[in-house]
Amino acid sequence: MKRFFAKGHRVRNKDKLIPYWLATIVALPFLLLVVGVGFGLFMSLPNQWLIFGIVIFVLVLISAIIVYRLYLMLLSKNKFFIHRHREFLLWRFLFQNGFYFTKDSKGKPTNGKPKIKFPKVYLKQEKYTLSASFQLEGIKFQERFLSIGGQLETMFSADMMGNVDDKAFVTYNYAIDSIRGRISAKDVTGTIVEGVKLSEGVYWDFVHDPHLLVAGGIGGGKTVFLRSLLVALLRLGRVEILDPKQADFVPLNELKVLKGRVTWETEEMGQRLIDLNHQMDERYQLMRKLSKERKEKELGAFYKYDIKPLFILIDELPSFVSALEDLPQNASVNYMEVMSALKQLTLKGRQAGFYLVIATQNVKADDLPSTIKDSMMLRVTLGRVSSFTYATLFGEENKDKKFKYVEKIGANRIFGRGYYGIFGGPAKEFFAPLLPDSKDFDFYTDFESLPRIEEEKSQLQAEIVEEKRYLQAEALEKLEITRSTLKKIEALLKDNQYSLEGNGYSEKELDLFRKILLEREETEHSLRDSVSDVVSTLM
């Protein structure tokens, strides 16, 4: 059946009756109850019309109140009622906006009582999405149908994810019930492959969409969101935090995992960015060295060399930038030097595994240099932010989207609701991780239990130290063999699936040659057998 109704329910004029027959479904049991009670009273109390009338009136009144409340509840809770109500809403939208043809019974235009016929319009509803398809094909409503996505978004209280134009129809796709995908802060996890899980089906894939820009109004849940991020980031790699407000993150500096990695004084924060920029250059040197040893044609990403990512979280960046501009001339750092380091980290950080998380209340034109802003691939808003912030973060692609601030859902106040989107793509409704009950989880205790991830200089020291490699002449002198014997051993090693590394010969490779020569001398086997015997002990 799904093949025949692939586009969903077609809107027709009879849909105007949907509220009436839905109400009838709810009222029917009560109507039967009233009729049954009335018949019973009539039979048991003959000629007692006053009592009969009072009882029936009270019963009808109570039933009407119950039916009304039950009807409203079903419209918000029951799947069948919700779907039928949306079909009615779409009919009402089309009717009130004049999206219909009027004809008489013979198919000709009429000035009398019109016979209404709607163009081909479909509504398809699924668990978390719905789509509305509108006929194009040159009909008189074509241009208007191409620009109604935002109106439908408001009408359905849904979140537009984009539209598809297949020439015959334009289809608007919407997300519904995004709050069902909300997760707890303690369930925020991260991997290099998938990224950081922010909600069910929502990930920050920092490898492919580097850098995160967060705009959150006062009381919108920004601090909880950033701390939820740390639950995953501190397990993935190193984290450096700059807190110019000297408030939300300063206490974390006492924890082992972040000791010395939380800064809040302006000059110290500036110097930290400069130092991190140098560390990024050193990491590139390490990666080039490892790539050369592997004889790779192209330099890979950081994770291919078993290097951990490094995340730089800057809370209230505009405050930091303003403080930089106010530094005296004799300060240890200056504005231009620090901003240059920040730009380099943004532009070059992806391959080396350096990622920025920049948070602010609202994004104004002069808050972020365009070089930095355009490199922030994932954008998130939380709570109440300005219309200019929406326009700046989500761009021209979302100009028709109806961004809205939701303070309550039902009787409950909502924190951490906003929008997220990849730069250049559609913005979607988003619910940030929920703060767990303090009896079950608190950020400080969680962070306190985490091991400290050290810099790769100490962690990968054995890989970084430059290993001496001997030229062929030096190797022949140390092994006391001829050049032809050396080349024969190399060829036999290759036949036994053992490859030598880089140019020249390492001390480890010379020891292997010595073992082969000693094996041949002690067993009097051929060189081929000796190579095979020694290599087999290494596998």
Largest CA distance in the chain: 130
* CA 427 from centre of chain: 11
* Cα radius of gyration rounded to whole Å, the chain: 35
Distances (CA, A) of 155 to 83, 151, 453: 14, 6, 50
Is residue 162 part of an annotated ligand binding site? no
Task: Assess contact for 213 and 380: CB atoms under 8 A.
Answer: yes
Is residue 418 part of an annotated ligand binding site? no
Is residue 129 part of an annotated ligand binding site? no
Is residue 219 part of an annotated ligand binding site? yes
Is residue 516 part of an annotated ligand binding site? no
Is residue 349 part of an annotated ligand binding site? no
- Kind of pairing between the strands at 238-242 and 262-263: parallel
Whole-number Å distance between alpha carbons of 284 and 295: 16
The two structure tokens encoding residue 212:
């995160």
* CA triple 360-363-367, angle to 5 deg: 90
Beta bridge partners of 9: 123
Beta bridge partners of 418: 382, 430
- Which of 355, 347, 342 shows the shortest CA–CA distance to 205? 355
State the virtual CA torsion across 396, 399, 405, 409 in degrees, nearest 10. Answer: -110
Long-range contacts of 512-517 (CB under 8 A, 24+ apart): 513/475, 513/479, 513/481, 513/486, 513/489, 514/479, 516/489, 517/479, 517/481
Whole-number Å distance between alpha carbons of 9 and 23: 20
Distances (CA, A) of 21 to 1, 8, 85, 154, 172: 25, 21, 11, 25, 28
CB-based burial label for 511 (10 Å; 0-12, 13-18, 19+): exposed
- What residues are designated binding site for ATP? 216-223
- What residues are designated binding site? 216-223
